Amino acid sequence: MEKGLFITFEGIDGCGKSTQIGLLESYLKEKGKEVLLIREPGGTAVGEKIREILLEKKNDSMKPLTELLLFEAARAQITEEKIIPATEEGKVVICDRFFDSTTAYQGYAREMGTELTDLLNGIATAGRSPDITFVLDIDPEQAYARRVGRGGEEDRMEALGLMFQQKVREGYLKLASDNPRVRVIDASATPEEISEQIKGMIDNVI
The stretches of the chain forming alpha helices (DSSP H) are 17-30, 45-55, 64-78, 84-88, 99-101, 114-124, 140-150, 162-177, 191-205
Q: How far is the CB of 61 from ligand TYD (least distance, A)?
A: 17
The reply to whether 134 sits near ligand TYD by the rule CB under 6 A is: no
Contact code string over 70-89 relative to ligand TYD, x by CB under 6 A: -x------------------
Comparing CB distances to ligand TYD, the nearer of 54 and 84 is 54
Determine the size of the site formed for ligand TYD (CB under 6 A): 15
Q: How far is the CB of 84 from ligand TYD (least distance, A)?
A: 18
Q: Which residues contact 194 (CB under 8 A, 6 or more apart)?
A: 16, 20, 136, 185, 186, 187
Comparing CB distances to ligand TYD, the nearer of 33 and 59 is 59
Closest CA to 24 of 11, 40, 37: 37
Closest CA to 20 of 177, 28, 174: 28
Q: How far is the CB of 82 from ligand TYD (least distance, A)?
A: 14
What CA–CA distance (Å, rounded) separates 198 from 54? Answer: 30
The reply to whether 164 sits near ligand TYD by the rule CB under 6 A is: no
Binding segment for ligand TYD (CB under 6 A), chosen from 27-35, 95-103, 124-132, 195-203, is 95-103
